[in-house]
Structure 1
Amino acid sequence: MHPTRWAIVALICVYQQLQMAAAKNDFELYFENFTCNSDSSSKEENPLESVHCGLSKNPKRRTLHMEFLLRELMHEHDFHIVIILPRRTMNFVLINVTTDGCQLLSNKNQIPLLRIARQVLDRYSNFPTQCPFERAKPYYLRGFRLDLSLIPAVMMETPVTVQFSYSRQRVQLFQGHITAHVQRTVNAKQKKSG
């Protein structure tokens, strides 16, 4: 291929990326519900003292918050997450993974979406960058909102459900459930109609 053709191909690729980036800013993730609970049947084996989850009170710009406290030092744990895009015929499972929670904290050997999640945790939480989780220290996630421009190829309005859990030696510490939806922003709708 001649240099001129390469330049044209490069320009087309840059243009498409800019269009996608602009389109992503037209969408936002709106949280509808966030709950979490612990398994009280295995209280003796569960090092969790307490856990609280919820949404901010502002209905237009809801953010997530979560806080938990441990009764003992936790050197190891597993983290499980499932992200589902519900569909009429069959749900689309975007991610379904269980990973070593300590590796997740230290950002080792991760798939790209989990690496993004770790970077987001750094901004909104006081989670440690490596194990252990300390005893009697409140760990939190506060004011969390997901910037869709961080995630590759989000260009649709869709409901989203997220289920996650922390476990240690096959004992579930707690699990959480988030319902949300990706929606075109008001500014994007006005741009389209204008």
Structure 2
Amino acid sequence: MDSTKSTGETALNIPESKSTKDKNTVAYTATTTATPYPQARWKRGVSIFDFILRICALVAALAATATMGTTDQTLPFFTQFFQFQASYDDLPTFTFFVVANAIVSGYLFLSLPFSIVGIVRPHAAGIKLLLLIFDTMMVAFATAAAAAAAAIVYLAHNGNSNTNWLAICQQFTDFCQRVSGAVVASFIAAVILIFLVLLSAVALRRR
């Protein structure tokens, strides 16, 4: 009879239970599905901010259009046969200003439903790209109209002695105040549109 005994250890392979596999699968699924939510919330927040900015730009563009389009002043101290009158349509620059801001206003109004779709579907890149293209075009319209009108307003306030252009704002005070306010409102709309372009570009970049 052999007195030597084997003392080696035997490794037991215990199969992983089905419940453990299910738990690991659930944990992995929960981890993978929970990660996109912060990004979706961020994109929805950007879309909501985009909608608010569009409303502000729409108000500013409408104010610029309505103010300039209704600007008309007649000096009261002349007879009905001989009067000095100043109206926005006397100057082609102001007429262009009204048309351009009206186009911007119409576009901003039509873009609101697309902005709402961006809130509902924050990952829809096609809508953001479309708005980015048209927003850039409207920036050009609003900036060109505001800059051109600002040059005329400057001449109306200060004149130009080299060309014998008189400053008419000393007489037509109401006219100059209204056109100046319209130009300021148009510049505000242009700045908001620039922010909209940057916002859309950032949203598309982080897609």
Q: Which structure has greater strand proportion?
A: 1
User: Does TM, normalized by the shorter one, top 0.5?
Assistant: no
TM-score with structure 2 length normalisation? Answer: 0.27
| Structure label with greater radius of gyration | 2
TM-score (norm 1): 0.28
